[in-house]
Amino acid sequence: DDTFDEVLPTLQKARITSTVFACMGTRNITPENPAYELMHKLVEEQKSDTEAYLQYWTRINQNILTEEHLLKLFSDVLSFVDGFPIAIKMISFLLLGNRGTSYPSLFELAENSLIEYHQSGKSLLAVDNAMMISMVLLRGGKRKSLAGIINESILQYFVNSDTYLGHSYEIEEVYRILMNLYFDIIWPSLSQALLSEGEEFMTYYHLKEFLGVDLVDGTKPIIMEGNHFAEMLEWCKNHPDIAPVRLASMIQVVGENEQFSPEALTLIDYFGDRDYVLDEIGCTLDSFFSVGSVVPYYEKRKRIYSSILQHPKLKVREWGQRQIKACDYYIQNALTREEEKI
């Protein structure tokens, strides 16, 4: 201890002051220790970066830190202008270790900081681990304010971006939670964004790619999480010129026993007199990845289309017949190509 106290003034004057933070962590200096305040002073006086707190955090024995210690530490980091991303990274380490779940006050601090950061006009999606922390916080189903903020942040990304978000497990999982537990909170703004047209059409397109059916892995589309199809059907009825085709582009259209899915059949029943709805369902059904001969795939689609040949709407029956003829055409072409290869 005497040696550390003697060299501390020299460390403060060193060119790389992050060494002070590393030493503080290695020596397990907790927030009630007067020496702890030196770290805050170094950042405050711009002699060190806020990120240096990570040197302290990754070296201290976190098991000795109480809830009060953690609140003090994270609050100190958050007090700096650039402290939010650092604090979020530190809190995420705690949650990954399953310690943060036992500290409700830390949850409140994390939630409030996420909301304040978003309200300052900055994107939460640009902050590493922000979605991971949001996922943990939202799982309880009781954080409606945070749910609204996270939904708004994700929608804003799609509104403002010219490029698709790409595959992100954390963001996908967050939205599955939102659909399951906070549908009433997010649906008003989500449903409006899905109606985007004209210059804002790409907002819908990005959302379709994000929420809709994945033709590659076949997992349940995010839009179908929580079984809210009845509410979506009402939305379609309120916006019959655009909502039905938008919903048709995102749902799974193939059901069990070589039938259309219940959702696709419902859209056909209500909106089967609209060509663009039928065409969208057909487009999804006819989009597939094949291994080997494509003939079995088209044969299966013929059987699915055959299931609606007795539909009460003439337009639907005629559409089914056309699709079956198209399948026959593709089957014949495929057989011809296969014979030529032989």
337 vs 290: CA distance, rounded Å: 15
The ranges of the chain with pLDDT < 70 are 1-16, 97-101, 162-167, 215-218, 288-291, 342
As to burial, measured by CB atoms within 10 angstroms (0-12 exposed, 13-18 middle, 19+ buried), residue 41 is: exposed
Q: How far is CA 341 from CA 213, 246, 334, in A?
A: 34, 41, 11
């020596």: which residue's tokens?
27
Give the closest residue to 268 by CA, choosing from 304, 294, 298. 304
119 vs 113: CA distance, rounded Å: 10
Give the closest residue to 151 by CA, choosing from 191, 95, 120. 191
Which one-letter DSSP state was computed for residue 34? G
Residue 111 CB neighbour total at 10 angstroms: 18
Q: Is the dihedral of CA 178, 180, 182, 184 positive or negative?
A: positive
User: Residue type at 223?
Assistant: I
CA 316 from centre of chain? 36
276 vs 242: CA distance, rounded Å: 9
238 vs 235: CA distance, rounded Å: 5
| Contact in structure between 142 and 96 (CB atoms under 8 Å) | no
| Contact in structure between 267 and 230 (CB atoms under 8 Å) | no
| Contact in structure between 50 and 86 (CB atoms under 8 Å) | yes
Residue 64 CB neighbour total at 10 angstroms: 9
Which one-letter DSSP state was computed for residue 219? P
Q: How far is CA 113 from CA 51, 89, 149, 186, in A?
A: 17, 13, 12, 20
């210690």: which residue's tokens?
69
pLDDT of residue 3: 53
User: Residue type at 224?
Assistant: M
279 vs 328: CA distance, rounded Å: 18
pLDDT of residue 216: 61
| Contact in structure between 154 and 147 (CB atoms under 8 Å) | no
Beta bridge partners of residue 260, listed in sequence order: 254
| Contact in structure between 30 and 65 (CB atoms under 8 Å) | yes
